[in-house]
Homo-oligomer: A and B are copies of this chain.
Amino acid sequence: MGMSKRELKKDLLLEAGLGVMATHGYNGTSIKDIVDAAEVPKGSFYTYFKSKEDFALEALERATEARNQESRALLEDTSLPPLERLTRYFRDYTGACDSGVTGGCFIGNMCQEMSDSSEVIRLKVRQLLRNNTEAIEAVLEEARRQGSLSSPQPSSVLAEYLFNAWEGTVMRMKAAKCREPLDAFLALLPIVVGQVNAN
């Protein structure tokens, strides 16, 4: 029942370290910063992680899981029309990313900073971005079947476009510290998918 002491300690390191790395970036975070944030002795880091790169891979998974529990539940909530779920998904996700808690989108941060210097991080980021894109594609397909989406573009192209546009929106909000990027994104969402309004 519950987590073992070992699991709890690893959890603590991931949670505290993720907070530091989301704010200061991969290269701006040392292993000492991670253990200091978790308030554990430095040596214990290596009980759980082979390296900082190994830590970052697990932190990426963790950041995604935390978000996905909420966002998948929202995307799969068939009590709402599919395009309404999609709008909420972006609006709420952006709200969460903008809260400052995570310093923007951690996957996006690692993508920008590390894609050219760590191949394993690049591949992990690519996989996580692809998972998100596929979840959006599934909702778009559902909207299409229900006749609420009129775009002649394949849902895979729409999903790729929308998810990238949204990542860029979140990035811009980091610099702008205002709502305009999000508002512009939400204003164009129905146009991009060719939303058909119910009468």
Binding site for B on A (CB under 8 A): 23-28, 100, 103-104, 108-109, 111-117, 122, 125-126, 129, 151, 153, 157-158, 160-161, 163-169, 171-172, 174-177, 180-181, 183-185, 187-188, 191-192, 194
Contact = CB atoms under 8 A, between A and B. Distances in A.
A184 B164 contact: yes
A104 B194 CA distance: 31
Contacts of A117: 23-25, 28
Nearest to A189: B161
17 contacts: A24-B27, A25-B113, A25-B117, A104-B116, A111-B172, A125-B175, A153-B187, A153-B191, A160-B180, A160-B181, A161-B185, A164-B168, A164-B169, A165-B165, A166-B168, A191-B192, A192-B192
Nearest to A104: B112
The copy count of this chain in the complex is 2
Given A164-B169, A191-B191, 17 more contacts: A27-B27, A28-B117, A104-B116, A111-B171, A112-B171, A122-B174, A129-B172, A129-B176, A157-B188, A158-B184, A158-B188, A160-B180, A161-B184, A161-B185, A163-B172, A164-B168, A167-B172
